[in-house]
Amino acid sequence: MNFKRVGLAALAAWVLYLALGFLVHGVMLADMWASLQSEGVARGSVNADAIMPLGFALALPGMLAFAYTYAKGYEGGPGLQEGLRFGVLVGLMLVAFGLTWNYVTFPLPLQYLTSTAAATVIEFAAIGMLVGLIYKHHPVARR
């Protein structure tokens, strides 16, 4: 395993994660989040903005774990395809173990589950493809 490429892939994935998060949740789903805030289900923007740096900071070790796990499970195929497959699987796990239970536990509308579930799988598919392209497994030369 090449730890330098894992680190570079994780850093790039973290930047993409933040950019996609803004695009999806800050722009495309902004109306849904505004509705949840007005209903008192989600934090208001003042409260959320105050703790958002924590989310940004914790996403970096999350992306390190993502890139490391990708590298450990790499099967030798094209990075783009391997990354897509890996990202979709991680996205589905996050939906099944995280978002679905948020929906079950908190008074969230079904639109929250469907919109954020689709966004999560798509976001992690893109992140996986980026990691796959950057990691580019190079087999050790044999003598």
- Phi and psi based region of residue 82 (left: phi greater than 0; alpha: psi -120 to 50; beta: remaining): alpha
Q: 132, 118, 136, 108: which is closest to 37 by C-alpha?
A: 108
Residue 75, helix vs strand vs coil: coil
- Give the tens place of pLDDT for each residue, 117-132: 999 999 999 999 999 9
Give residue 100's pLDDT: 94
- Give the tens place of pLDDT for each residue, 15-74: 999 999 999 999 999 999 999 988 888 888 888 889 999 999 999 999 999 999 999 998
Give residue 138's pLDDT: 61
Residue 83, helix vs strand vs coil: helix
Instruction: Quickly state the pLDDT bin for 137 (edges 50, 70, 90).
Output: low
Q: What is the pTM of this model?
A: 0.89
Q: Which residue has the tokens 């190079």?
A: 138
Overall average pLDDT of the 82-107 stretch: 95
Give residue 74's pLDDT: 87
Instruction: Quickly state the pLDDT bin for 141 (edges 50, 70, 90).
Output: very low
Instruction: Quickly state the pLDDT bin for 139 (edges 50, 70, 90).
Output: low
Residue 139, helix vs strand vs coil: coil
User: In this structure, what DSSP letter does residue 44 have?
Assistant: -
Alpha carbon distance 31, 78 (integer Å) = 38
